[in-house]
Amino acid sequence: MSLDILAFGAHPDDVELFAGGTLAKMAAAGYRTGIVDMTRGELGTRGTAAVRSREARAAARILGIHVRENLGLPDGNVQVDGASRLKVIRVLRRHRPTIVMVHHWDDRHPDHVNTSRLVTEAAHHAGLAKIRTGQRRFRPDAILYFMLPSYQRPSFIVDVSDFADVRTEAIRAYRSQLFDPASEDPPTYLSRPDFVDQIEAIHAYFGTLIGRRKGEGFYIKGVIEIADPVDFIRRQSGLRFRY
C-alpha cells in the first residue's frame, strides 16, 4: 500500500525534531506515513547504532508511523552518488508517497546537505523509465523541506498545537542523545539541559506566525496553485492577516 507522506532524515531523530508534529497529526487523520533514516547514526558521540535503532522504533510507535526503514548509508559520509541515489529510488518506487519530506539543503551538517540533494535527485530520477529497478517508475507530487535556515521564510506552516506533546515524547525517546545527569558519555549540543526547550521555541515561533500555539514550517520550491481561493480562505479558520 502506498504512503501519503514519506520523510527522509540523515540520522535517527532528525525527522522527529522538525516534522514530528506534522507526521503525528497526519497519522491521526488517517494518512499513511513513513520515515526513512539514511544512516544508523553510528558516529554519534553518545549512544550506539543499536541503541539508536531501538529508540527510532520507539519514536515511530509514538508518532503512529506506519513504516520506518534505514538505508544503512555511512554516518558522516552520506554521498550523492549513483549507488546511494538508486537506493532512494527503490524506496520511492516501493512506497510511492504523494509527499516527500527532507532536510533543507542549506545546513552546516554535510550529511543533512547531501541527504537533501540525494533525495531531491532521486525523486526526479525515480520517474525515469530507463532507470530499471524491476519496479514501476514513480515521481512524488511534492517535496517539502524542513529544518529551515533562519533566513528562509516558510512556504506554509502546519498547526501542530494539539500534537506538540506527542512530538516531544517522540524526541525524548532518544534518551541516549539527550540530557542525562547520570550519563558518562561526552556532552553534545543535543545533551544540553535546555535542548528540547530550544526546539520547542522554534515551533512556538512558527506558531505565532499563524496565530497558533505551535507550528512546523516547511518550504516548497515553486508556487503552490490554489484552484478556488474563496474556498481556500473560508477553510482557513485560523488565518491571520497582517496589515
Indicate if the pLDDT at residue 237 is higher than 90.
no
Residue type, 20: G
> In a 3-state reduction of DSSP, which class is residue 202?
helix
Report strand pairing: 5-9 vs 215-218.
Answer: unpaired
For the chain, the structural domain boundaries read 5-235
Architecture of domain 5-235: 3-Layer(aba) Sandwich (3.40)
Summarize the confidence of residues 98-107 as an average pLDDT. Answer: 98
- pLDDT tens for 124-144 read 999 999 999 999 999 999 999
- pLDDT tens for 141-188 read 999 999 999 999 999 999 999 999 999 999 999 999 999 998 888 999
Summarize the confidence of residues 95-110 as an average pLDDT. Answer: 98
Indicate if the pLDDT at residue 242 is higher than 60.
no
Average pLDDT, rounded, for the chain:
95
- Give 209's Cβ-side CA count (13 Å radius): 18
